[in-house]
Amino acid sequence: AQRVTQPEKLLSVFKGAPVELKCNYSYSGSPELFWYVQYSRQRLQLLLRHISRESIKGFTADLNKGETSFHLKKPFAQEEDSAMYYCAPQLPVFIIQGAQKLVFGQGTRLTINP
Amino acid sequence: GAGVSQSPSNKVTEKGKDVELRCDPISGHTALYWYRQSLGQGLEFLIYFQGNSAPDKSGLPSDRFSAERTGGSVSTLTIQRTQQEDSAVYLCASSPKRKGYEQYFGPGTRLTVT
Number of domains observed in the structure of chain B: 1
Between A80 and B2, residue with greater pLDDT: A80
Q: Does A31 touch chain B (CB under 8 A)?
A: no
How far B60 CA lies from chain A's nearest CA (Å)? Answer: 13
Across the range A54-83, mean pLDDT stands at 90
Distance separating alpha carbons of residues A34 and A46, to the nearest angstrom = 8
Nearest residue of chain B to residue A35 (CA atoms): B101
Distance separating alpha carbons of residues B107 and B105, to the nearest angstrom = 7
Which of A101, A106, A100, A82 has the alpha carbon at shortest distance from A24? A106
Q: Is residue B112 in a domain? A: no
Residue type, A70: F
How many alpha carbons fall within 13 Å on the CB side of residue B96? 4
Beta strands A83-90 and A108-113, pairing class: antiparallel
Q: Is residue B56 in a domain? A: yes
Q: What is the Cα gyration radius of chain B?
A: 13
pLDDT tens readout for residues B45-83: 999 898 878 888 889 999 999 999 988 789 999 999 999
Q: Is residue B87 in a domain? A: yes
pLDDT tens readout for residues A90-105: 766 666 666 777 888 8
Nearest residue of chain A to residue B51 (CA atoms): A97
Structural domain span for residue B50: 5-99
CATH at B19: 2.60.40.10
- Kindly report the average pLDDT of chain A as a whole number: 87
Q: Does A102 touch chain B (CB under 8 A)?
A: yes
Residues 6+ apart with CB under 8 A from B25: B4, B32, B73, B74, B75, B92, B94
Domains, chain A, with CATH or none: 4-113 (2.60.40.10)
For A99, which of B42, B48, B107 is closest by C-beta distance? B48
Q: What percent of chain A has pLDDT over 70?
A: 89
